[in-house]
Structure 1
Amino acid sequence: MVGLQRRSATLVVMLATLMVVLDLGLVNIALPTLATALEVSESRAVWVATSYQLVCAASLLSFAALSHLMGQWRVFSCGLVLYTLGALGASLAMGLGWLLFWRVVQGLGGAAILSLGPSLYRKIFPHRLLGHAIGLNALVVAFGLASGPSLGGVVLSMASWHWIFALNVPVGLVAIWLAWRSLPYESWRRTGFDWPGALLSMLMMSGFLLAMERLGHGQSHTLIIGLAVLSLLAFAAFVWRQGRAPAPLVPLSLFAEPRFTSASVVTVLAFIAQGAAFVALPFLYQTLMNASPLQAALLFTPWPMALLISGPLAGRLADKYDPALLSAGGLVLFVIGMAGLAWLSSAGSAAYLLLPSLLCGLGYGFFQAPNNREIIGYAPLALSASASGVLASLRTFGQCQGSAMVALIMALPFGSVSLALWLAAAVALAALLVSVLRLSQPARVVAS
């Protein structure tokens, strides 16, 4: 794929990814407004965000596997249609029930998009430029993280909450048109679909996410333990099924490649640390340092803005140098930044936290793009969709673990934001150690 078609296909994946990444920032900041406008409690309004996250996370592996049957461009395009239709329906919803229904539709579309985005880059770009493509993806994610809450605040200051969802409709329509014109065509394949595996993966992810969500709201320990046990049993059954299914959702042969496995472990650990920081820092700024929501958003900006610079640069370098080395170097900066945030969290001034936040963003950008390149690049081309689904699932798992970790620590009698940040820094250090050990594993050249 060359020239105009490559540029158009790249734009499709970037637009689709941006829509999904922006979603949580836009919606989360609108939750108090939604609760007031729909005349419901804040705990019920939270389900506008939770329902989307739950359905999206539970469907990631299934959509990745479905692409082996239907072709990646069909599944991705259907995801765009579902997401755009869900956004339109949500923008027109007149009550919480209909809004939740359309958010579920959006979650299904978001799962198809997130599970196949990195894999499509593998088809759009030659293997020698894969790092550049993953770097572009990091740029889009960083921009979405940085602008989501601010854009949501601007929209709410000028219009009703309906426009939070309506914003994505024209973007989605443009992406759908470009997708049908530019994404690489694939014919239907005569292969099966692992329905038992899909059900188990949904039970595994939804049970885990519900347990984490209930933990964050201080619900009954019996319910939380029950959901956690359900998730663990589903995970064990899922692994057993994948080793025996004729067309598994996640071919276990992927994990026979040591660098793929190491990169996967590092992904989980790094996203736990980042997820914890993303929950702890707003609380630190607004509650302990008395910053307004707008001030807190501005104080948080250095992290994603630094990632906006380092991500694309690291992606380009990963095409020339060992991605594991770049990832390890990025994690060194990330660990220093996290330790700085934890150490200075009791300083009483947010200004002291700007430099550590900047280091976290720079380090995470240099870690994420090369590490993602290893996960996607070390998978055989025929299994790139499965690798992409694994990456999206690991990212979601890590972020939720990080959020739950902060909620659990804050519920303890001796819990504090500082303690949560120190623990996040320790998890980041564990990610660094695994990444350093990965350097001793042989690099394998994967044919494009």
Structure 2
Amino acid sequence: MALAIVMAVMDGTIAGAALPTIARTLNVPPATAIWATNAYQLAVTVSLLPLAALGEIVTYRRIYLAGLVVFTLSSLACSMAHSFETLVIARAMQGFGAAGLMSINSALVRFIQPRARLGRGLGFNAMVVSTAAASGPTVAGLILSVADWPWIFAVNVPFGIAALLLGWRNLPESPRAGERFDVLSAFLSASTFGLLILGLDGVAHGQSAVTVGAQWLGAAIAGAWLVRRQIGRRRPLLPVDLLAIPIFALSIATSICSFMAQMLAFASLPFLLQTGFGFSAIQSGLLTTPWFLATAACAPIGGRLVERIPAGLLGGIGLAAMSTGLGLLAFLPEHPQPFDIVWRMALCGAGFGLFQTPNNRTLVGAAPPDRAGGASGMLSTARLLGQTMGAALVGLVLSWMPGMPVGGPTTALTIGACLAALGACVSLLRLRA
């Protein structure tokens, strides 16, 4: 499971580092090249909830193994693409395969781990995910230093085969739900989240208000129809039954706030460090590394602490620390030294790591065992929605404040600090729930 989820998460970030090379090699403008990343993220987001629901029907094992097969074959197709259109199609297929892994990843952890050790299992899982997300650009840089861009995708093939063989031998069968798959609800879910994300991406890239408004109107109509269709169902594809559980709903809201804050930082810090303070790209990457190292170190600690301390309190403390770190980054001195940046990054990462595992443990554990697939799908959906909205906010801030290499990014960091503080307050509400 760790090997498979590393590939799925890393491929969400690894292609971004290769976009300039891909654009130059395939002769496409940078604004078009971004679809090599967008196609992957969009495919993952629209298919998470349908695949989570399908996993409860046909077992998590089958969805996971099918996702591995699709992901590995489409990685091979990406490496063999000779046109940009072919690459985008292969990346979209790769996203569908990754969604098969992400959608029921936490549900499988819950199914495998004894309940008393669920926090530790999710803590290890959070550490793996955080490390994979952080190492994507670094791995891409290493590969591009010795090989052409197709090898960024080709390296997945042997690891995918190894994960498939291990999974075929070791992954357990989960109970099946005796229901049919709701195709119409799957279509409505994909339409809702797909149009919502396209609208957010359009706002970030300056599309016309009419186009963005039409996309959001379509998302609202499809979403309302989806919610109305799900009410009263025993196993709804959109887990409205789980959202009716107060602590589950609060955990989802906390997760969205935290990932919005995280993406506001990740998308704005390169501009602040490189354009605003004059650090090189390599120096900027090194200065950001303490965030990921602190998250990887604190995630397992949070998994152990949640067995004795309420998750609402741990999440509140963690997000308060993250909010403090983001605020301090927003008010760096005019000519900061590397140490000024490093310890602030570490504070943000430690706070996020302390929050993430207890939150995931509470969210997945709040669902009945037979609805773990729906809970896992909502967990991944909340993460992607938060990241997408955070990236769109950064685009808006930087477009509203052009020519301000320090003012724009620091404004985005301030908004991130406020969102992390809001997430801390929502987390503390779980003490009452």
Instruction: Tell me which residue corresponds to 2:415.
Output: 423
| Post-superposition CA distance 1:359-418 (Å, at most 9, x none) | 000000000000000000111000000000011111111111111111111111486111
Letter in 2 for 1:440: R
**Aligned partners of 2:302 and 2:357 also within 8 Å:** yes
Give secondary structure in 1 for the equivalent of 2:188: helix
Is residue 86 of structure 2 the alignment partner of residue 98 of structure 1? yes
Instruction: Tell me which residue corresponds to 1:438.
Output: 430
Letter in 2 for 1:434: V
**Aligned partners of 1:207 and 1:231 also within 8 Å:** yes
Instruction: Tell me which residue corresponds to 2:112.
Output: 124
**Aligned partners of 1:193 and 1:247 also within 8 Å:** no
Is residue 58 of structure 2 the alignment partner of residue 48 of structure 1? no
Matches within 5 A, 1:186-225: 186=174, 189-225=177-213
Is residue 332 of structure 2 the alignment partner of residue 336 of structure 1? no
User: Structure 1: which 5+ residue stretches go unaligned?
Assistant: 1-12, 442-448
Instruction: Tell me which residue corresponds to 1:3.
Output: none
Give secondary structure in 1 for the equivalent of 2:181: coil
Deviation, structure 1 residue 188: 5.3
Is residue 362 of structure 2 the alignment partner of residue 374 of structure 1? yes
Instruction: Tell me which residue corresponds to 1:151.
Output: 139
Deviation, structure 1 residue 321: 2.5
| Number of residue equivalences | 429
Matches within 5 A, 1:223-302: 223-245=211-233, 247-302=235-290
Letter in 2 for 1:239: V
**Aligned partners of 1:289 and 1:350 also within 8 Å:** no
Is residue 306 of structure 2 the alignment partner of residue 318 of structure 1? yes
Matches of 2:368 and 2:383, distance apart in 1: 21
| Post-superposition CA distance 1:171-203 (Å, at most 9, x none) | 111111111111112465531112121111111
Matches of 1:39 and 1:184, distance apart in 2: 46
Select between 408-417 and 368-377 the one with higher mean Cα deviation.
408-417
Matches of 2:76 and 2:431, distance apart in 1: 48
| Post-superposition CA distance 1:145-188 (Å, at most 9, x none) | 22111110010010000100011111111111111111112465
Is residue 45 of structure 2 the alignment partner of residue 57 of structure 1? yes
**Aligned partners of 1:276 and 1:403 also within 8 Å:** yes
Deviation, structure 1 residue 439: 1.3
Give secondary structure in 1 for the equivalent of 2:168: helix
Instruction: Tell me which residue corresponds to 2:15.
Output: 27
Deviation, structure 1 residue 251: 3.3
Instruction: Tell me which residue corresponds to 1:175.
Output: 163
Q: 1:97 to 1:329 in 2, by over 3 A?
A: same
Deviation, structure 1 residue 244: 4.2
- Structure 2 length as normaliser, TM-score? 0.96
Instruction: Tell me which residue corresponds to 1:162.
Output: 150
Letter in 2 for 1:158: V
Deviation, structure 1 residue 240: 1.2
Deviation, structure 1 residue 349: 4.6
- Structure 1 length as normaliser, TM-score? 0.93
Select between 168-177 and 246-255 the one with higher mean Cα deviation.
246-255
Give secondary structure in 2 for the equivalent of 1:416: helix
Alpha-carbon RMSD: 1.5
Matches of 2:92 and 2:130, distance apart in 1: 25
**Aligned partners of 1:243 and 1:251 also within 8 Å:** no
Matches of 1:323 and 1:252, distance apart in 2: 22
Instruction: Tell me which residue corresponds to 1:9.
Output: none
Instruction: Tell me which residue corresponds to 2:388.
Output: 400
Q: 1:27 to 1:289 in 2, by over 3 A?
A: same
Is residue 30 of structure 2 the alignment partner of residue 38 of structure 1? no
Is residue 108 of structure 2 the alignment partner of residue 108 of structure 1? no
Deviation, structure 1 residue 254: 1.0
User: Structure 2: which 5+ residue stretches go unaligned?
Assistant: none
Select between 115-124 and 432-441 the one with higher mean Cα deviation.
432-441
Matches of 1:149 and 1:45, distance apart in 2: 17
Letter in 2 for 1:411: S
Give secondary structure in 1 for the equivalent of 2:104: helix
Deviation, structure 1 residue 253: 2.0
Identity %: 38
Matches of 2:251 and 2:331, distance apart in 1: 28
